[in-house]
Amino acid sequence: MPRHIRKGDTVFVRSGSDKGATGKVMKVIVDDNRVVVEGVNVRKKHIKPSQTNPQGGIVEKEMPIHISKVSPLANDGKPTRVKFETRADGSKVRLAVRTGEQLGPELKKAKK
């Protein structure tokens, strides 16, 4: 199944407690259909003291949210859907449905 959201995309949160927020995708968890978005779904985690962190303490950490709750932002800053297109030279790209602009780099290079 093609991934409409990729690492590094700027996304808009459509639902949930962080509805309306925007952020950059830090990680995509393909097996669970979840993404970690910078500054969204931040939770406090209690860390035990260890050799690497002798103090321990409470750390704020972004937790994953379901991929259906986010939409990529087009170049004009508004959320859009994504479609895939194969160009005449054989390269494959992601396009914003609303504007028709290319999102990110080519996914698959043309064969020579």
The string of DSSP letters for 14-54 reads -SSTTTT-EEEEEEEETTTTEEEETTSSEEEEEE---SS-T
52-76 as b/e: b if 16+ CB within 10 A: eeeeeeeeeebebbebebbbbbbee
- What's the whole-number mean pLDDT along residues 33-43? 96
CB 12, CB 79: distance < 8 Å: yes
Residue 65 lies in a domain: yes
Q: How far apart are CA 8 and CA 27, in angstroms?
A: 8
Distance (Å, whole) CA 110 – CA 90 = 5
Instruction: Answer whether residue 12 shows pLDDT above 90.
Output: yes
pLDDT given for residue 110 in this prediction: 64
In a domain, 76, yes or no: yes
| Average pLDDT value for residue range 28-57 | 94
Q: Which two tokens stand for residue 82?
A: 């994504």
- CATH assignment at residue 23: 2.30.30.30
| Residue 28 included in any domain | yes
- N residues, the chain: 112
Task: Return the structure tokens found at 83.
Answer: 């479609």
The pLDDT tens digits of the residues spanning 67-87 come to 999 999 998 899 999 999 998
The larger pLDDT score, comparing residue 72 to residue 2, is at 72
Domain count, the chain: 1
